[in-house]
Structure 1
């Protein structure tokens, strides 16, 4: 691994990829880019997974952060995929917390294709911004994430380095401050995720709601499961639930069934 950290020649600096950061351009991945800059890593490629389902505001942030990464001397790329909307049409439904096939089709598989194209010899090290502190419970995959893995299946059997595993939020925020980047009060929004919590959902604007509502109507199913939202069905009701006080949401009553026999009392 020593050779990977050795300085590159001027000719190789613009073409050799030695480190790959798959970035959503949220807090952790932007801090990771700053970390790579402070450690003077060379041959860094920053790759954004375009899910085709980002909010309008997030698309603007990606452009801004890509320009910042390039100003540090890093190369920026984007992966392409079928896109969330077409994937939902293909599946005739939406992913669930149990069956999250969207991650593979929109991020992991496109990322592996990108790696195969740009690092066919598998010499690059992939950097990830995983932090143990972010794990929600002991069973969360982030809780036991290793600082270094010599072979990651989700990265085409390449080595993966996670320099932030023991880092606390203050350390992450200090990196962002040195980069001149404001800490976001929410998670990255490169995808209107099915795992969105109330805080995430409150950030959806009318354009987001209209887009999801149209896809729900086309697919014939709701994106968010009613049992996780106190019975709210459809994105507009889910937004009402998200903006209601805890336990206060009441779903609208289902219309009574009409008997076609005309023998029932009216």
Structure 2
């Protein structure tokens, strides 16, 4: 039977991060993950994790100038020093709270120079992360939500991983992004399972709770479970209101 992680970048955003961790535990999640926790002192997060016994699965590197439209730094030519600083920041925070992975965000870029820049950033990130047994994740984002994002497809991600050749570089397989970009989510999952480090989900196409939309998550969860995946699946959806009001899927889809 699948088990679930609450992504606190979208769930319980009306609460502080420590309070959201407590809420996730009360709701029956077995783990948590987040986006950009840096405004919360890591010792406060660590205390909430200790109180609940929940592991923190991962967090993201910062996006850069969000107001200016940036969505990551690691593939941006000329921004290598900032990208490495963001990687260092994420790894330091992850170590402080016991997180096991860091999602390195590529940013909005294209072309061969962006590719080589991203590869260089990932080589650096993987070497630094290995010191504390942290996994580096990369995640293709769909063209509808992030039309200018450098990393767009799972095939592109696999090619980059083959080039970097680091055992601690894995794919973030987000069923929502794969569903919108490529479709055939279960087949893609099975083909990519050896290189997947984490799985996330949300409804397609609205990115709401998984018990709505065109993707049958009762089927998807069953097939992922049958494939032998035992790690928590990350609920990274936008509740559009009270998180508690959307949690019926935790019993209806498993």
* TM-score normalised by length of structure 2: 0.31
Scaled by the length of structure 1, the TM-score of the pair is 0.30
Report which of the two structures shows the higher radius of gyration computed on alpha carbons.
Answer: 1
